[in-house]
């Protein structure tokens, strides 16, 4: 008769294992080792993948209380003298030990190997845009046993010359032109999806892959400035695929090293997306995109470039019938490697951060949402985006007495996500919170925001949350709106994997010291002992007077009057009672200082701050972000500062 043993997740179980493993630790030679009446005669197979079943045959198994693979508890079933256990999904690949744990610190062990599943690994995809019938080449690992391949959700044919390290797919018919497409590979061991930018469509830039050209020249490209520092390279560690541009920055103005395409036909008023692969030889690289157009040049923000291949992208609207696309690489003396430069009609591609929430703007009613308690509806009279929002009136009791939950979200444990939304109240004193995931009595509810005061004007809220383990296995976002009797409106809800943005400002991570920043009042420095990401942050100690008595400003940024921008950063204080504010732009006595945040209470833990600001007209003509840190004598640390163009309704 089969006996089913349930997992017991408890401190006692873990303590028992530690004690067992430390007692009578004889070496096992492969014939099995027993203590008391328990012994292992065989294990089959002796090597297996996670989530697969392994069989143990032996004696005395009715005494077994737990089975561990390494230090991870495994689910098991007992059938007489046979144990069937499942290799835990998080078991690390390699040689380990299977341990049977019994009462009174008895244990039995046997060697075992956890196998690494040979799932496909994407390393490089080229080209970065292709049309129906064209071939896309994927370089990587474990590409030889593909059961199915998809591009943009449609089945893609595998070209006959493909190998285990180089897979060639034919772009299927019927996919929308100039659309962002995910590449999906399936084997018997699982499905892997690409995270890099890939478009269905024509690359408007000739020779964007840089394969054509003699010597150090590139067909259809010009070296307008700093040409002596631009060469062709085919060295394996310097190319993305085939042949790449190697460019040494002049140091100084961005335009002093300038790589320029031949003119491309563009339509005035149409948005275009440009992107490319780039890496730097050493840390501290910085570059931008620009255009050369008869109606005047346009400029992207500045991009911090690391030492690993990365994609950078920029969307712009054409102002002329012909446009040259320009890489401005001269701001630093860094050596860059550039490949697969691509320009597509249309915009909106993203790198590895797709929207995970369905119907966050409620344009499709309450599809994708479940009203758990109270009543929820859609408003067509109040909205931030589109023509609808979600509305509910609180019960005036517990927060969960008026509660709505998203459909399950595809989140990954241990990954960080940004939850953002716009909200307003119909009257004063409105308060609600958000939470994740749905309460089940077993600890699945791992996150509760603070109570948020909801004003009577549309206001932006944002939270960064790490997805914890949930016993229910289901991640849902909940709005707990029952604490007051106020009526609320919520719109433009978004859940995306959190990534430090590439801003219009330079060196927002302070990895390159205070480059891109100017200390106006007080003293500012870089800390290498406190940082949110990377290895550095900005630090300053307040003067204990006016906010501006300790003040640092970004270099001027290319912002456009009338557009919205999102300012985000992380901050912490060395002690309690720290307060500072941010402002924009620099005070000049003529009204250029159009934005001041409220005083921000800075805690002793890293905290995420965001603001949506509309760029007002500035008499100075200069947009700068300022940190006004002088109101207290506290020491502050600031990291991952970014100013990006923002459109909640895109």
Domain 121-200 is found in CATH 2.60.40.10: yes
Residue 486 near residue 394 (C-beta atoms within 8 A): yes
- Per-residue pLDDT at 1: 36
Compute, in degrees rounded to 10, the torsion defined by CA atoms 497, 501, 507, 509: -20
Spell out the domain ranges in the chain.
2-114, 121-200, 221-345, 369-497, 517-645
DSSP string, 248-278: E--SSSGGGSEEEEPPEE--TT-EEEEEEEE
CATH number of 221-345: 2.60.120.260
- Per-residue pLDDT at 283: 87
- Per-residue pLDDT at 347: 54
Neighbours of 330 (CB within 10 A): 25
Averaged pLDDT in 10-residue chunks for the chain of 650 residues: 35 34 34 65 94 94 94 92 92 93 91 90 94 95 89 92 93 89 87 89 96 97 96 96 96 94 92 94 92 92 90 91 96 96 74 75 94 97 95 97 95 94 97 94 93 97 95 94 98 93 88 94 97 96 97 92 94 97 92 95 97 94 95 97 85
Residue 373 near residue 403 (C-beta atoms within 8 A): yes
Three-point CA angle 346, 351, 353, nearest 5°: 110
Per DSSP, 591 falls in state S
- Give the Cα separation of 645 and 450 in Å (integer): 28
- Per-residue pLDDT at 153: 87
- Per-residue pLDDT at 353: 60
Residue 192 near residue 121 (C-beta atoms within 8 A): yes
Q: Is 34 left (phi over 0), alpha (psi -120 to 50) or beta?
A: beta
**Of 287, 276, 275, 346, nearest to 317 (Cα)?**
346
Per DSSP, 509 falls in state T
- Give the Cα separation of 359 and 390 in Å (integer): 11
Fold agreement (2-114, 221-345): no
- Per-residue pLDDT at 560: 84
Contacts of 568 (CB under 8 A, 6+ apart): 462, 501, 608, 609, 610, 611, 640, 641, 642, 644
Residue 142 near residue 120 (C-beta atoms within 8 A): yes
- Give the Cα separation of 120 and 193 in Å (integer): 9
- Per-residue pLDDT at 34: 44
Contacts of 555 (CB under 8 A, 6+ apart): 505, 506, 516, 517, 518, 624
Q: Which two tokens stand for residue 550?
A: 């300790």
Instruction: Report yes or no on whether pTM surpasses 0.85.
Output: no
- Per-residue pLDDT at 69: 95
- CATH fit for domain 517-645, picks 1.10.287.110, 2.60.40.3880, 3.40.50.150, 2.60.120.260: 2.60.120.260
Residue 351 near residue 277 (C-beta atoms within 8 A): no
Name the one residue in this structure whose structure tokens are 């009203």: 371
Extended strands (E) in 319-386: 322-328, 335-345, 369-373, 376-379
In angstroms, how far is CA 1 from the centroid of its own chain?
Answer: 49
- Give the Cα separation of 211 and 287 in Å (integer): 22
- Give the Cα separation of 196 and 311 in Å (integer): 7
Contacts of 27 (CB under 8 A, 6+ apart): none
Neighbours of 91 (CB within 10 A): 21
The domain covering 2-114 belongs, at the CATH homologous superfamily level, to Immunoglobulins (2.60.40.10)
For domain 369-497, give the fold.
Jelly Rolls (2.60.120)
């Amino acid at each position: 008769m089969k006996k089913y043993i349930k997992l017991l997740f408890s401190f006692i179980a873990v303590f028992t294992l530690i004690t067992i493993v430390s007692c009578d630790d004889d070496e096992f030679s492969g014939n099995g080792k027993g203590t008391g009446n328990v012994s292992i005669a065989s294990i089959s197979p002796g090597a297996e993948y996670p989530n697969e079943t392994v069989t143990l045959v032996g004696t005395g198994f009715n005494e077994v209380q737990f089975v561990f693979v390494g230090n991870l508890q495994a689910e098991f079933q007992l059938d007489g003298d046979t144990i069937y256990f499942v290799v835990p999904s998080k078991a690390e690949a390699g040689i380990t030990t299977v341990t049977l744990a019994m009462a009174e610190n008895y244990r039995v062990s046997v060697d075992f190997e956890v196998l690494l599943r040979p799932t496909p690994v994407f390393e490089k995809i080229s080209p970065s845009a292709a049309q129906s019938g064209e071939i896309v080449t994927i370089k990587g690992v474990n590409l030889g046993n593909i059961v199915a391949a998809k591009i943009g959700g449609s089945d893609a044919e595998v070209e006959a010359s493909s190998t285990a390290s180089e897979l060639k797919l034919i772009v299927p018919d019927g996919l929308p032109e100039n659309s962002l497409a995910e590449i999906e590979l399936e084997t018997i061991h699982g499905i892997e999806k690409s995270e890099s930018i890939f478009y269905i469509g024509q690359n408007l830039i000739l020779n964007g892959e840089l394969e054509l050209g003699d010597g150090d020249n590139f067909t259809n490209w010009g070296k307008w400035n700093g040409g002596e520092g631009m060469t062709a390279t085919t060295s394996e560690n310097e190319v993305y695929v085939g042949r790449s541009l190697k460019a040494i920055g002049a140091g100084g103005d961005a335009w002093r090293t300038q790589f320029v395409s031949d003119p491309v036909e563009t339509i005035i008023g149409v948005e275009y997306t440009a992107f490319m692969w780039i890496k730097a030889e050493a840390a501290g690289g910085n570059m931008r995109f620009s255009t050369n157009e008869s109606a005047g040049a346009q400029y992207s923000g500045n991009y911090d470039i690391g030492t690993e291949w990365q994609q950078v992208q920029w969307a712009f609207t054409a102002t002329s019938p012909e446009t040259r696309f320009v890489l401005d690489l001269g701001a630093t003396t860094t050596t860059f490697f550039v490949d697969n430069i691509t320009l597509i009609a249309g915009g909106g591609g993203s790198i590895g951060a797709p929207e995970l929430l369905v119907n966050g703007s409620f344009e499709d009613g309450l599809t994708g949402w479940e009203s758990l308690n109270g009543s929820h509806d859609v408003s067509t009279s109040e909205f931030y985006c589109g023509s609808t929002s979600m509305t509910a009136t609180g019960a005036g009791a517990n927060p969960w007495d008026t509660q709505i939950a998203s459909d399950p979200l595809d989140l990954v444990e241990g990954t960080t996500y940004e939850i953002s939304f716009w909200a307003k109240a119909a009257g004063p004193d409105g308060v609600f919170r958000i939470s994740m995931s749905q309460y089940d009595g077993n600890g699945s509810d791992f996150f509760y925001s603070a109570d948020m005061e909801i004003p009577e004007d549309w206001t932006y809220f944002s939270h960064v949350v790490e997805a914890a383990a949930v016993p229910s296995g289901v991640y849902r976002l909940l709005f707990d709106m029952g604490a007051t009797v106020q009526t609320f409106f919520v719109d433009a809800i978004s859940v995306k994997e959190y990534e430090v943005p590439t801003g219009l400002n330079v060196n927002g991570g302070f990895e390159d010291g205070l480059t891109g920043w100017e200390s106006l009042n007080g003293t500012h420095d870089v800390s290498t002992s406190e940082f949110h990401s990377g290895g550095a942050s900005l630090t300053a100690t307040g003067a204990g007077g006016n906010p501006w008595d300790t003040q640092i400003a970004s270099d001027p940024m290319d912002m456009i009057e009338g557009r919205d921008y999102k300012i985000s950063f992380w901050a912490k204080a060395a002690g309690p009672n720290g307060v500072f504010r941010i402002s924009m732009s620099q005070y000049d006595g003529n009204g250029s200082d159009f934005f001041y945040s409220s005083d921000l209470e800075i805690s002793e833990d890293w905290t995420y701050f965001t603001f949506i600001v509309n760029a007002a007209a500035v008499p100075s003509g200069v947009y700068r972000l300022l940190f006004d840190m002088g109101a207290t004598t506290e020491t502050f640390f600031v990291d991952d500062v970014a100013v990006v163009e923002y459109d909640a309704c895109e």
